[in-house]
Structure 1
């Protein structure tokens, strides 16, 4: 068992967190996080470190509900990866949800405002993670030169940089806070946040564990390289800087590490891709590909977010929940036709109406029985749109996850995996980054496609490797993993009329929306309590 699954039950006894409405100023009561006994020795500091990781997976001190870390939003909804899915997938061509929770229909319609529950909740979650990390770093520094604690501090700084990566992606100009304080913070520019993330990730490499040397669930040097790869790939979009050569360099460093693309077909179904999203993906071979994960355990770390959300909410219609290792479906999430159409080149069978129902590409993980390809109405009609079967709570041998009741899911969720580094490398090379070459990039893409097809029948030539092809390949490889909005913005397709999908902008055929929608608003109540902050344009 990894650090998160070992220590998740210890954490509530260590931290009693209070919440404040002005979470931009003081996300938690720092004294409650830094009690003397928490940092009594290096082993106790390790328990405190677990809270920093757990804050990205769980929602409070009790789980799955009760003693929430943040208030004003349903606790399960407030979980980090669930909100990442809501903001980065439901706003795109990848997914819709049929529920009518306040603020939720506005996401796919791209009509959210400054009081939207989901964009507000995500800001508070990330601000809290920054505050947790700041408190940990300050207190752990009291151990002096202990090399193990130095590694803990480096991990905490990575997690803080990761939170800020999300903040500048989603909100743009945000406060840059590196110490817990009650003083209302000043707003930093996106460029200042970018430079801070870059400097932190470069500086911590000396103290992070070597590639593959840390416990599963904890980051090592490769995570810093991978996050730099992501940062540099988006530099032109975010701060108008061409950093594609740097993206090539750090993608290459991650690729040349001890991590490897999973090719293990442990369940014998002819595909190694689905092993990445099963209940035993921490041990079935998939873990070799995972650089950074949010870890879940159906007994030890219960939440209504995470993969519990992704599995349950994707089940409805005539689907059998038991085949997914859970006790029922929530009838919410489906794919848009635009996502299904990404696999048109690999269709092997259609229904009587000519709609695809089987594909040669094993990444096309759709349930079509009783489902329509077209979405006529999003609300309360689960059979409108194909269901997605990518995430399951069964292991490679077909056994249900550890929660015998089928409520909570064991499947870990990759936040960064090596396949993304392959795609980053290829895109950075095609965009003109120095230090790479097209033949190598093509080889990386073909490695992913050979896994998907089971042979080389889906391989491409270097002449096929265009930016548009890479964007489509990212959709096929990474869909529902919280990446799509960022990708579409980088390609200048998120708001424009040059690329439409069903119900984009709230119309069935899709329409362009205002360009300011590339950023979410800062929470309205946050603006009202901190005069140092300026709201994003359009809100």
Structure 2
């Protein structure tokens, strides 16, 4: 992580302005470039907003001026890079165009230390940490209320980025300051301890739950990241922390915080999810998007366009990429018998097919289009093999038009309350304390009630595998799945197989080295402090 990822040291410091007035993270977004040759002062609010913008934007413009130099700029977006590496090789989805660089390696789990997609994620995380470090260095010693709160949020974001380096690569080059020197390596256990300590340290300086401007982190975001950390503690450190996961998920779920489940699951992923009060109450931290003023090929635009074909119902965008559709293993989470899937065809109202699927699944989260499709994914390169996703859209719940017919307004609900229910339910069962089954059942029931999914095992019959399936039903296409499968010991093993896992239609296990991504070869060559992961 020597800062070769930054086009220049100065431009990394003052690279992008997102003028917001700081009353909302990206409310009335206006992107304006800063010329470092003309700007001698550090604009604190401007640069602070860049930290949040780095979650969903790739640079100053829609294209041609990226933070990180890559052939396809959209792939360098933090969220898209994370999604790519956490979803493409799993049981949820498959990418149609296998000729695209780096895609077959993810699809069939056979990447190496020169793999393009994993290197993009590594570089993006390193770049975002650098932004945080520079900002924190610039405001060091400032104790006014604004600086104290911004410092806490910058440390939260830095902890988030280190969390993903730990989760995906098992180690990271570590530094808390902006420097041109090669940083030393921290192991997963060391990163875990650091992240835990940072989140503990900043908590009191974060906004109270639901008091931060929408799109900025508050105490609930801090607690939810800790709950994620503890849920996966055994993977990262070898020591389980189930009771801590229960505690911090419980803090998020405390009704006094004001968060609650959105009554309509679909509205969480629509263009007005930053205005709709029912959707907003579930979203703890969003990645802000806007079809006119925050354009990116890597955020919700990617999620909608990549899942769209021209024969599908209108979802508020006119740019179908025909890239992503279901693997059969995900469909099976909603339909135990494929014969129950309705493949109805409507000429005038294509959305009726989606409603038929939801009704047949007895679950409103089954947002799939089936007309002209088949459930079996016989051909990886054929978009109509597999069902089409309808989860993300650029439509508004109030029926009004979005800002743009191509680029979505849809914010990404990056942290949302449903995750806390799922974390606590799983941790209850794993901890195995008194009333664990009943407590876990109540958390799962809350999500299934929201989805109008009335079928649920009895409390005594609730299993960890059922909760893993429920995580797929609730969180599919949100960037979680690889981490979940690794926690269960299913990602690389032959214990659980899915279509095309390991390169065969029936699926097969692969080497456990693929539970971690390799440190990019470019990194180990330039930073000799970094050691390669085993097997690469």
Task: Give me the TM-score of the superposition, normalised by structure 2.
Answer: 0.89
The residue aligned with 1:373 is: 375
CA drift of 1:434 comes to 5.9
CA drift of 1:352 comes to 8.1
Which is worse superposed, 340-349 or 74-83?
340-349
The residue aligned with 2:517 is: 520
CA distance in 1, matches of 2:433, 2:54: 38
CA distance in 2, matches of 1:220, 1:436: 31
Mark the CA change 1:352 to 1:382 in structure 2 (over 3 Å): closer, same or farther. Answer: closer
Query: What is the aligned counterpart of 2:477 among 452, 457, 480?
Result: 480
User: Unpaired segments of 5 or more residues in structure 2?
Assistant: 1-19, 345-355
Contact kept? 1:325, 1:399, Cα under 8 Å:
no
Contact kept? 1:502, 1:510, Cα under 8 Å:
yes
The residue aligned with 2:350 is: none
CA distance in 1, matches of 2:475, 2:413: 10
CA drift of 1:287 comes to 1.1
The residue aligned with 1:26 is: none
The residue aligned with 2:51 is: 52
Contact kept? 1:419, 1:448, Cα under 8 Å:
yes
CA distance in 1, matches of 2:28, 2:172: 32
The residue aligned with 1:407 is: 406
- List per-residue Cα deviations over 1:345-379 (Å, max 9, x = no partner): 598944589xx953211111111000111112212
Query: What is the aligned counterpart of 1:181 among 173, 179, 182?
Result: 179
CA drift of 1:8 comes to 4.4
Contact kept? 1:317, 1:382, Cα under 8 Å:
no
Mark the CA change 1:261 to 1:84 in structure 2 (over 3 Å): closer, same or farther. Answer: same
Superposition pairs for residues 392-471 of structure 1, below 5 Å? 392-403=393-404, 406-432=405-431, 437-453=436-452, 457-471=454-468
- SS of the residue corresponding to residue 140 of structure 2 reads helix
- List per-residue Cα deviations over 1:39-73 (Å, max 9, x = no partner): 4xxxxx22211100000110012x21021100134
CA distance in 1, matches of 2:343, 2:215: 46
The residue aligned with 1:278 is: 270
CA drift of 1:142 comes to 4.0
The residue aligned with 2:30 is: 9
**What value does the CA root-mean-square deviation take over the aligned residues?**
2.2
User: Number of matched residues?
Assistant: 499
Pair 1:76-2:69 in alignment: no
The residue aligned with 1:327 is: 318
Mark the CA change 1:348 to 1:499 in structure 2 (over 3 Å): closer, same or farther. Answer: closer
The residue aligned with 2:206 is: 208
Contact kept? 1:446, 1:460, Cα under 8 Å:
no
Pair 1:532-2:525 in alignment: no
- SS of the residue corresponding to residue 89 of structure 2 reads coil
The residue aligned with 2:63 is: 65
Contact kept? 2:502, 2:508, Cα under 8 Å:
yes
User: Unpaired segments of 5 or more residues in structure 1?
Assistant: 17-31, 40-44, 265-271
CA distance in 2, matches of 1:526, 1:259: 44
- List per-residue Cα deviations over 1:108-145 (Å, max 9, x = no partner): 111111111110000010001100001111111242x2
CA distance in 2, matches of 1:146, 1:467: 47
- List per-residue Cα deviations over 1:202-257 (Å, max 9, x = no partner): 00011111111110000111111100000000000111012111101100001105
Query: What is the aligned counterpart of 1:300 among 293, 298, 302?
Result: 293
- SS of the residue corresponding to residue 206 of structure 2 reads coil
Mark the CA change 1:382 to 1:289 in structure 2 (over 3 Å): closer, same or farther. Answer: same
Task: Give me the TM-score of the superposition, normalised by structure 1.
Answer: 0.88
CA distance in 2, matches of 1:295, 1:466: 36
CA distance in 2, matches of 1:105, 1:194: 31
Superposition pairs for residues 91-130 of structure 1, below 5 Å? 91-99=89-97, 100-130=99-129
CA distance in 2, matches of 1:440, 1:347: 32
